[in-house]
Amino acid sequence: MKVKICGITKIEDALYAVELGAWALGFIFYPKSPRYIEPKKVKEIIKELPKDIKTIGVFVNEKFDKMEEIAEITNISTFQLHGEENNETCQKLSKEVIKAFRFTNKKELEIIDNYVNDKEKNNILAFLIDAFNKDSYGGTGHRADWDLAQEVKKYGNLILAGGLNEKNISSAISIVKPWAVDLSSAVESDYGIKDHKKMKDFFEEINNDKNRN
């Protein structure tokens, strides 16, 4: 199972996540987030990472030119758009895109139709489903709607986020069967500061689940 650890702010946390087997690391470039990190710091962290690790810049309703500027500075591999960005923006960006949604009902799934109208030229790597919270764009620790998340798989790769931890990850994988999982607050001691024991426990549960199957 591919695992993305989001909200990285420290090199030691990034390296430990990679050591444990993380597929991707997420860096928050949304200034209002308590996990915000400056692009220059991300540049220094990425320099120390293996080349095959996905490095994902998370943006929320940011200006196109600003996103491209940050990508140039940091050398991230992937954009994650966590706001109301449209498909035109996704397709214009210079790197692959993870488009995040926070659905509250099945009717809203129709929004994804606007992002898969040209599969041959699609710049979207995956769709990420997170829990809806009117006060935050992510990292709340609230669980996403797994039934809605399953519906997203018919549109493309599904990354499941929202309230995942070592206690429910086996159920999430068994029920939703996502392409990848994403977590942040469940492995933190404070905003942007990862708890290495929690990270280790999570990856051990992932590996135990794989061995059981």
pLDDT given for residue 116 in this prediction: 86
Report the pLDDT value the prediction gives residue 52, as an integer from 0 to 100: 96
Residue 176 and residue 185: Cα distance in Å, rounded?
A: 20
Q: Is 130 a catalytic residue?
A: yes
Q: Is 90 left (phi over 0), alpha (psi -120 to 50) or beta?
A: alpha
pLDDT tens digits along 148-158: 999 999 999 99
| pLDDT, position 17 | 98
Name which of 56, 121, 134, 55 is nearest 87 in CA terms.
121
pLDDT for 12 equals 98
- For residue 212 the two structure tokens come to 């059981």
**Residue 15 and residue 50 in contact, taking contact as beta carbons nearer than 8 Å:** no
Strand partners, 128: 100, 159
pLDDT at residue 153 in the model: 95
**Residue 78 pairs with which residues in a beta bridge?**
56, 96
Q: What are phi and psi of 175, to 5 degrees?
A: -85, -50
**Per the residue annotation, which of 6, 13, 90, 182 is the catalytic one?**
6
Share of the chain above pLDDT 90, in %: 80
Here the contacts of 182-185 (C-beta below 8 Å, separation 24 or greater) are: 182/3, 182/4, 182/6, 182/26, 182/128, 182/130, 183/3, 183/4, 183/5, 183/6, 184/5, 184/6, 184/7, 184/26, 184/35, 184/138, 184/139, 185/7, 185/139, 185/140, 185/141
Q: What is the pLDDT of residue 35?
A: 96
Instruction: Give the pTM.
Output: 0.92
Residues of the chain with pLDDT below 50 are: 135-139
So what's the pLDDT on residue 90?
95
| Model confidence pLDDT, tens digit, residues 10-31 | 999 999 999 999 999 999 999 9
For residue 83, the number of C-alpha atoms closer than 13 Å in the C-beta half-sphere is 15
Asked if 74 and 42 touch (Cβ cutoff 8 Å), the reply is yes
Q: What is the pLDDT of residue 210?
A: 65
Q: Of the listed 13, 52, 65, 130, which one is catalytic?
A: 130
